[in-house]
Amino acid sequence: MELKGKTILITGGTGSFGKACLEALLDHHEPGNVRVFSRDELKQSELQQRHRGDDRLRLFLGDVRDRERLVRATRGCDLIVHAAALKQVPACEYNPFEAVQTNILGAENIVSAAIANEVPRLIQLSTDKAVNPVNLYGATKLAAEKIVTQANTYAGDTDARFANVRYGNVVGSRGSVIPIFVEQAKRGELTITDERMTRFWITLPEAVEFVLSALKIMEGGEVFVPKIPSMRVVDMADAIAPDARRTVIGIRPGEKLHEVLLTEDESRHALELEDRYAILPEFPSWRAAPYTHGPPVEDGFRYTSDSNERWLTAEQLRAMLPALEAVV
């Protein structure tokens, strides 16, 4: 499905991803209009000022916990990008039912609204933390993945189809380790949880284009996983502040040493495409023809941040974040 001329809704549209997705759509994909759905009136006002004069922008105040409001916001939509979530791990641990209401019930609500209005395509943003989750945030996103995948069954014989994207840490996003290191570098000391730790990394523009490309090729029920590089936490420290002191503080509650984007069990029903993996649903009752966009991955394949074939160097990280040049 092409994006040109389409009506597109972004939930969580005033967040880091939502704003970047909006700009990419308006600048490069010629949508009919883009609806931004979020609960922050100040951020919506700032967004309106930034895009003053662009009549393709529509602003909807609302919360994904409110199904009725979502039904109203999705009426007449062609595509939905579901990016709204509570994603800070410590906050979700401390406020578990708040995370459940937004991340799980919110996913159910947007799915129900899309089915009610027969929206042709919905894609949800997931995370590597949904794989074998060890914290509540990951558990809620795993549940959301299952809800979105199974929505294809509930959509019945309508044109509505649902899929997920699952990727790693976004370089420079709020709350990630890189902005923390940049700030700590000013004081000459970095705190490192564990020197063995590795993570998957993707830039915000790459994440946006990956999501939009998935909207174009999805058939329903897939979990799309991009082929992205890993980086060691000590290499991040070298890139940002090579001369700073380092203090090892230990892994925080709910953290892993390494992240996983595709498990051995999922590999039994996953395909390898040129730039991504597609994890297929095990019981695709809604699909009339087999999914044949790529060969199956090897049996027992496991895509993890410590066994990745692609690695970011300190120089490559600096190229991703020009602002780091002023720090090192």
Question: Span 227-231, mean pLDDT?
Answer: 95
Instruction: Give, in order, the Cα–Cα distances in Å from 209 to each of 52, 213, 259.
Output: 24, 6, 22
Identify the pLDDT of residue 215.
Answer: 95
Both tokens assigned to 43: 């951020």
At 137 the three-state DSSP class reads: helix
Q: How far apart are CA 136 and CA 125, in angstroms?
A: 16
| CATH code reported for the domain at 7-168+202-227+261-304 | 3.40.50.720
Question: Span 52-57, mean pLDDT?
Answer: 94
Q: How far apart are CA 132 and CA 284, in angstroms?
A: 23
Question: Span 58-64, mean pLDDT?
Answer: 97
Counting residues of the chain whose pLDDT is more than 90, the rounded percentage is 79
* Confidence at 290, pLDDT banded by 50, 70, 90: confident
Question: Span 21-41, mean pLDDT?
Answer: 97
pLDDT tens-place string over residues 254-279 = 889 999 999 999 999 999 999 999 99
CB burial of residue 277 (10 Å; 0-12, 13-18, 19+): buried
Q: Angle at the Cα of 217 (from 311 to 276), degrees rounded to 5?
A: 15
Identify the pLDDT of residue 319.
Answer: 79
Residues annotated as catalytic are 129
Asked whether the predicted pLDDT for residue 1 surpasses 80, the reply is no
Q: State the chain's mean pLDDT as an integer.
A: 93
Name which of 92, 161, 163 is nearest 125 in CA terms. Answer: 163
Asked whether the predicted pLDDT for residue 172 surpasses 90, the reply is no
Asked whether the predicted pLDDT for residue 327 surpasses 50, the reply is no
* Confidence at 325, pLDDT banded by 50, 70, 90: very low
Which stretches of the chain are assigned E, i.e. beta strand? Answer: 7-11, 33-38, 57-61, 79-82, 121-127, 161-167, 169-170, 189-192, 198-202, 223-226, 230-232, 245-248, 260-262, 270-272, 276-279, 303-304
Contact 23, 205 (CB under 8 A): no
At 46 the three-state DSSP class reads: helix
Identify the pLDDT of residue 328.
Answer: 41
